[in-house]
Amino acid sequence: MATTTKLRPAKKFGPGYFIREQMEYRNWIQEDLAEVMGVTPKHINKILLDKQPITLDMAKVLAEVFETSPQYWLNLDANYRLWLQTEKSEKEVQADLKTKIYERMPIRDMIHKKWLPDFANLKELYASVLTFWGVDELDFEAWDKRTLPILARKSESFNQYNAAYTYTWYHKAMQTALTYKVGDYNSEMLIQLFDNIHSYTMQENGYNIFINELNKAGVIFFILPHLQKTYLDGSAFFVGDHPVIVYTGRYKRIDNFWFTVAHEIGHILYHLDKPDAFFVDNFSEKDIDNFEKEANHYASSKLKHNELYEYLKPKLNYLTKQAIVDCSERLQIHPAIIIGKLAHEKTISYANQNLFNDDVLKKIDSAYIN
């Protein structure tokens, strides 16, 4: 749907404007004209404000008073009413266009994140949206069809707004992925890296070392914050020949970072079988499909969730901080991941998630943060 470029008058004056001109020429006030025309001042006021259409009888009286033809006043009024109707129609079209844009994109959040420039009017907004999507016009029907794969994989609580905003985020993620350069994709290297992911969680600067290894395996990684109403934790897809992992930093916790990355690696290795396939993940959702369940299983396995639970099982009735440290050293897994797993299983309170947890966004190289 394209904006109109057709030129039209900026303003059409009604009969009231020209009646006032005649009154000024004669130094009349409203009461004078009312007296001459034999109507009430209230009636004259409505005519002067163009709130009262000019009838044939009124046109005859005006023609007699101001020495014109009745047709002159009828034409002025008809042209003005037509202009008003056209003006209203164009405003309705503009309002409809703006509504459709806002329904599909969280415009204010996108401006806040500097994905879009601020705008003074609808024309500027429309132009910046076209630039964002890289198109000449917005085809909303075709656009909506592209959100169907997102809706198909989500629970019933995930509505059209969530899907539209998620698709907007996914588009931005694809754009961002194109700005990163990595080596050729090597699935064998990624499998080996996946098998050893737990060891990186214990290393000093393990986040950046692991990301560097991902890049060597031909996997693009970066952080892109989620948009409002999307509640995303991460995503996996291909751009060209390169798999992409996106982390949103929604929770910024150590355990959330490593689980998200492991989950998305699972998608890359076992689920992304088509060039246009993609996954956008919200780990708060309860109703998930088999792909998500499998990715969760792969991530849990590589992060030793079962082993750590079995190790601590005898101590769960009186779990100490030292027991967490001992488990971490024994299994070579970061203690924050242990705390996160136990809290997720409701074995311990979620309040304990602050233990051993730092803001991962402060530890990851800024080159990966968008």
pLDDT digits (tens, 9 = 90+) for 150-182: 766 655 555 666 788 999 999 999 999 999 999
CB neighbour class for 30 (10 Å; exposed up to 12, middle 13-18, buried from 19): middle
Q: Tell me, yes or no, whether 8 lies in a domain.
A: no
319 belongs to a structural domain: yes
* Residue range 332-342, pLDDT digits in tens: 999 999 988 88
Residue with the larger pLDDT of the pair 145 and 118: 118
pLDDT surpasses 50 at 313: yes
Q: Are residues 171 and 286 in the same domain?
A: yes
Claim to verify: residue 133 and residue 170 sit in the same structural domain: no
Is residue 43 one of the residues assigned to a domain? yes
Pair 84, 114 in one domain: no
Can you give the CATH number for the domain in which 49 is found?
A: 1.10.260.40
Verify that 215 and 290 share a domain, yes or no. yes
Q: Residue 166 and residue 172: Cα distance in Å, rounded?
A: 10
The percent of residues above 70 in pLDDT, for the chain, comes to: 91
Residues 214 and 322 in one domain: yes
Taking 80 as the threshold, does the pLDDT of residue 65 lie above it?
yes
Greater model confidence, 274 or 335 = 335
Q: Region 345-361: what's the mean pLDDT?
A: 79
Residue 195: its pLDDT value, please?
97
The pLDDT tens digits for 46-56 are 888 888 888 88
**pLDDT averaged over every residue in the chain:** 87
Is there a domain that residue 3 lies in?
no
Q: How much is the pTM?
A: 0.75
Question: Is 5 within the bounds of a domain?
Answer: no
Q: Is the pLDDT of residue 59 over 80?
A: yes
User: What pLDDT score was predicted for residue 160?
Assistant: 60
Residues 245 and 345 in one domain: yes
- Rounded Cα distance between 42 and 40, Å, is 5
Query: Is residue 101 pLDDT above 50, yes or no?
Result: yes
pLDDT of residue 3: 40
In whole angstroms, give the CA distance from residue 218 to residue 221. 10
For residues 193 and 78, membership in a common domain is answered with no
Residues 134 and 181 in one domain: no
Q: Specify the pLDDT at position 194.
A: 97
Q: Considering the domain boundaries, does residue 7 fall inside one? A: no
Q: Look at residue 143 and tell me if it is in a domain.
A: no
Taking the C-alpha atoms of residue 43 and residue 184, their distance in angstroms, rounded to an integer, is 81
Q: Domain tally for the chain?
A: 3
Q: Say yes or no: 278 and 245 in one domain.
A: yes
At 1 the pLDDT is 39
Condensed to tens digits (0 to 9), the pLDDT of residues 212-256 reads: 999 999 999 999 999 998 889 999 999 999 999 999 999 999 999
Direct distance between the N- and C-terminal alpha carbons of the chain, in angstroms, rounded to an integer: 31
pLDDT score recorded for residue 78: 84
Pair (23, 71) in one structural domain: yes
Q: What's the token pair of residue 99?
A: 């509504």
The pLDDT score that the predictor gives to residue 6 is 42
Most confidently modeled range among 94-108, 188-202, 265-279: 188-202
- The alpha carbon of 360 is separated from its chain's Cα centroid by a whole number of angstroms, namely 24
In this structure, the answer to whether residues 94 and 111 fall within a common structural domain is no
Answer yes or no: is 215 within a domain.
Answer: yes
* pLDDT per residue as tens digits for the range 20-34: 888 888 888 889 888
Residues 244 and 352 in one domain: yes
Residue ranges making up the domain that contains 92? 15-102
* Confidence category of residue 289, pLDDT binned at 50, 70, 90: confident
Which residue pairs from 3-7 have beta carbons closer than 8 angstroms and sit at least 24 positions apart in sequence?
3/97, 3/122, 3/123, 3/126, 4/90, 4/93
The pLDDT assigned to 87 comes to: 66
Residue 158 has a pLDDT of 55
Q: Which of 2-6, 48-52, 134-138, 232-236 has the highest mean pLDDT?
A: 232-236
CB 57 within 8 A of CB 37: no
Q: In angstroms, rounded to a whole number, what is the distance separating the alpha carbons of residues 43 and 51? A: 10
Which residue do the tokens 């042209």 mark?
A: 79
Least confident of 3-12, 63-72, 86-95, 141-150: 3-12
Distance CA 194, CA 34 (A): 90
